[in-house]
Structure 1
Amino acid sequence: MSRRMSPETRTVAWLVGVVVTMGALAWAAVPFYDWFCRVTGYGGTTQVSQAAPDQVLDQVIRVRFDANVEPSLEWTFRPMQTSMELKIGENGLALYEAVNTSDVPITGTASYNVAPDIAGYYFSKIECFCFTEQTLQPGERIEMPVSFFVDPELVKDRDASWIRDITLSYTFHRTEPKQASLDAAPADNVN
């Protein structure tokens, strides 16, 4: 003898399934979107490389530098150069300066993008202060490097080959230092 579910039970089971599926999709959306942006350069997301390419073209590109801080971060933050011209494929090194203007240590993390958006697929960073959080002591001033290149494949892309000006923009956000949670844990007293 088989038991059939009542229509109300089937409806509840279906709704629970929909809620679970929506929750799983929402949970997966952020890592998937992050992966998608890194792979495609969508939204001006830059690439990460180990080294500059061997090929350097005889075509010049200008990179402009921009710096911002969120209002709750008591830092001054600026590029130490407003722009730089380099050959496509050539390794560039730019410096940014940050100063903690408060009387307490502050940790910040930089988000970044490039404009025009499509250039993100061809703009690669080798080293960047944006890869890790930065903690500045009261009044501390630091210079932070970003080593980068523009991939020569840019000139082969019919949608991006016209680009000869790229803006690299950073925004520093206040964050809680990752080490703080470890420091706050009580030490085991062994006698």
Structure 2
Amino acid sequence: MPSGNGRIVVICAAFVAGMVGMSYAAVPLYSLFCQVTGYGGTTQRVTQESDRVLDRTVKVHFDANTGNGLNWEFGPKTREIEIRIGETVRADYVAVNRSSRPLTGQATYNVTPQAAGAYFNKVECFCFTETTLAPGEKLEMPVTFFVDPDIVNDENIAHVTTITLSYTFYPYEKEKPVAAAPVPVQDNTQL
């Protein structure tokens, strides 16, 4: 083991390496945390449809955005629908590549109010999937979901009558650090 200054250099190098490793692990760990808990409006992923449908309804509002550097037109086919709680429904988003070259994007999502994320269950979704569109190509992307009937038992969220599902497509670039990802977004809520 090095002594004196050598030990300090080794400790500092290990600390820096650990911090770099944590910075790369932070996003996947945070995403996993949000998916498990519904924190930050993150929806739940499920493999089967709801087996219980209530008479109570809720409106679902659809929002769409594209990040800087992705020359796509992106939006929901339908701006808002009213569904029965527990009813499994499908909504479609549409993306069109407006550039003269192929572009790859990847979507992130959230739900507002944030507490509703724990009850918003997606059966099928295009989120977190690399999507490449050729110049001028148009693609319909479905999302199949239901609102968990247990939402009516949560006194913090039971009064909600409208839930917003929002997607943002960002340019997909391999091995680009998270800190360099574009932050501002354009609002393209409807095609």
Which band: TM-score by shorter chain?
0.7 to 0.9
Deviation at 1:115, TM superposition (A): 0.5
- The answer to whether the aligner puts 1:134 opposite 2:137 as a matched pair is no
Q: Secondary structure at the match of 1:64?
A: strand
Amino acid at match of 1:95: D
Deviation at 1:18, TM superposition (A): 7.9
| 1:42-64 alpha-carbon deviations (Å, 9 max, x no partner) | 11111101122111111101000
Q: Secondary structure at the match of 2:110?
A: strand
Task: Give the TM-score normalised by the residue count of structure 2.
Answer: 0.80
Counterpart position of 1:119? 116
Unaligned runs of 5+ in 2: 176-191
Q: Among 15, 22, 29, which residue is 1:19 paired with? A: 15
- The answer to whether the aligner puts 1:166 opposite 2:144 as a matched pair is no
| Matched-pair contact (CA < 8 Å) for 2:53–2:84 | yes
| Matched-pair contact (CA < 8 Å) for 1:133–1:177 | no
Task: Give the TM-score normalised by the residue count of structure 1.
Answer: 0.80
Q: Aligned residues: percent identity?
A: 49
Counterpart position of 2:96? 99
Amino acid at match of 1:67: A
Amino acid at match of 2:124: E
Q: Secondary structure at the match of 2:166?
A: strand
Q: Secondary structure at the match of 1:158?
A: coil
Structure 2 CA distance for partners of 1:177 and 1:127, relative to 1, 3 Å: farther
CA RMSD in angstroms comes to 2.6
**Aligned counterparts, 1:180-191, within 5 A:** none
Aligned residues: 173
Amino acid at match of 2:167: Y
Instruction: Return the structure number with greater relative CO, CA threshold 8 A, min gap 6.
Output: 2
Task: Kindly report structure 1 stretches of 4+ aligned residues shifted beyond 6 Å.
Answer: none
Counterpart position of 1:60? 57
CA distance in structure 1 between the aligned counterparts of 2:15 and 2:109, rounded to whole angstroms: 34
Structure of higher CA gyration radius:
1
Structure 2 CA distance for partners of 1:31 and 1:143, relative to 1, 3 Å: closer
Deviation at 1:176, TM superposition (A): 3.8
Deviation at 1:30, TM superposition (A): 3.0
Q: Secondary structure at the match of 1:129?
A: coil
| 1:77-106 alpha-carbon deviations (Å, 9 max, x no partner) | 111101010001100111111111111111
CA distance in structure 1 between the aligned counterparts of 2:137 and 2:174, rounded to whole angstroms: 17
CA distance in structure 2 between the aligned counterparts of 1:72 and 1:13, rounded to whole angstroms: 41
Deviation at 1:129, TM superposition (A): 1.6
CA distance in structure 1 between the aligned counterparts of 2:23 and 2:137, rounded to whole angstroms: 40
